[in-house]
Structure 1
Amino acid sequence: MPHIALDNELPGISGLMAHRPDTGAPLSDLADVLLRAPSSLSPGERELIAAYVSQLNSTEFCSASHGAFAAAQLPGGQGLVEAVLADPATAPVDGRLRALLAVAAEVRNAARPVSDEAIAAARAEGADDTALHDTVLIAAAFCMYNRYVSGLATELPEDGGYYGHAARRIVADGYRGTSARTD
């Protein structure tokens, strides 16, 4: 049961954003820019980074949601997402993404500079400044989103099809306006 009374039946961050659209709208806008705006990383790769950080933070709703969003946009689909969440070192991703996942893990671990070694490894695999910037900001933002969801003890969806439905909506329409949506 959530720690606060919500005025809707939505799970996870969806319920929090619908409950407080004044804070939900800027959080949705930030997610849209981070995960969908032009970048040297594809939207699927950015969703995978968000899912991975959420997995490391033990935030099941965010990990499952962003895992579904990544799976809908990446070759390899759900199998690839599951492999990355289980062990990015052995998952079938390219070296650049593997190195960026290591950068994201460092950001998630502590509020300090990412190690020179992790940055050098990502650059050696072809990561540019935009990919590094976006990876760090996605990881930092998802630490906040995860703490928001977990801190208020939000509920998981009862319907197993929730994540697939949400993935279709996010891939088609993005995040903007999701704080006011109830579907």
Structure 2
Amino acid sequence: MAHIDLGLDERAHPGINGPMRFRPETAKPLNELAETLLRAPHPTLTPGERELIAAYVSGLNECRFCCASHSAFAAAQLPSGMRLVDQVRADPATAEVSDKLRALLEIAGAVQRSGRDVTAELVKAARVAGATDLEIHDTVLIAAAFCMFNRYVDGLGTLAPEDPGVYERTAEHIVRYGYGTS
């Protein structure tokens, strides 16, 4: 049970969904941020790659709901599916991703620890691997935003379903309709 009375059945609205329904006036800009960061047209990073960054950071933050959600969302949009997501979550250094994505995941991990952990050396390594300033910017913002989203979900003690099917069904909806839709 959430730390506060959200006024709804948490099983029907687990994780971030309950707080979003509790405070629709804050849900709107938060959903718009997620939509922009993860799904809006991007010249080079696919929605699956951006969701993978969100899943990776959520896993580092030990946010069960967000990690499971965004892992499912990434898997639904990546050719290698959950196998690749699991590889990245286990060890991005050995995962079957491009050098560029590996460097961006390293930056995301640094952001998760502290924004100050993003060093000129990490940025230079990402550029050498082919990352653009836009990709570096968006990676930092995705990682920072997911630290906030993770703390929002866990700070309110919301329900994280155990059934992977819940996340897979939500992934189908998100991929088709986006964030901020019921």
TM-score, length-normalised on structure 2?
A: 0.94
Equivalent positions of 1:89-108 (< 5 A) are: 89-108=93-112
Matched residues in 1 for 2:162 and 2:147: separation? 24
Higher relative contact order (CA 8 A, sep 6+): 1
Q: Confirm or deny that 1:56 pairs with 2:37.
A: no
TM-score, length-normalised on structure 1?
A: 0.94
Equivalent residue of 2:171, what SS?
Answer: helix
Q: Deviation above 4 Å: which 4+ runs of structure 1?
A: none
Matched residues in 2 for 1:159 and 1:113: separation? 35
Counterpart position of 1:21: 24
Q: Confirm or deny that 1:8 pairs with 2:8.
A: yes
Task: Say if 2:68 and 2:164, in contact at 8 Å, map to a contact too.
Answer: no
Q: Determine which of 164, 167, 175 is the counterpart of 1:163.
A: 167
Equivalent positions of 1:70-81 (< 5 A) are: 70-81=74-85
Q: Residue type matched to 1:25 in 2?
A: K
List per-residue Cα deviations over 1:124-180 (Å, max 9, x = no partner). 1110111111100000000000000011111112644210111001101111x33xx
Consecutive unaligned residues of structure 1, counting only runs of 5 or more, are: none
Q: Larger deviation: 111-120 or 126-135?
A: 111-120
| CA 1:148–1:131: 2 relative to 1, 3 Å | same
Q: Residue type matched to 1:135 in 2?
A: T
Q: Determine which of 33, 36, 39 is the counterpart of 2:36.
A: 33
Q: Residue type matched to 2:24 in 1?
A: P
Matched residues in 2 for 1:111 and 1:4: separation? 30
Matched residues in 2 for 1:113 and 1:92: separation? 25
Matched residues in 2 for 1:168 and 1:112: separation? 36
List per-residue Cα deviations over 1:75-114 (Å, max 9, x = no partner). 1100110110011111111100000000001111113261
Equivalent residue of 1:91, what SS?
Answer: coil
Equivalent residue of 1:112, what SS?
Answer: helix
Matched residues in 1 for 2:4 and 2:172: separation? 29
Q: Residue type matched to 1:83 in 2?
A: Q
RMSD: 1.1
- Percent identity at matched positions? 60
Equivalent positions of 1:115-130 (< 5 A) are: 115-130=119-134
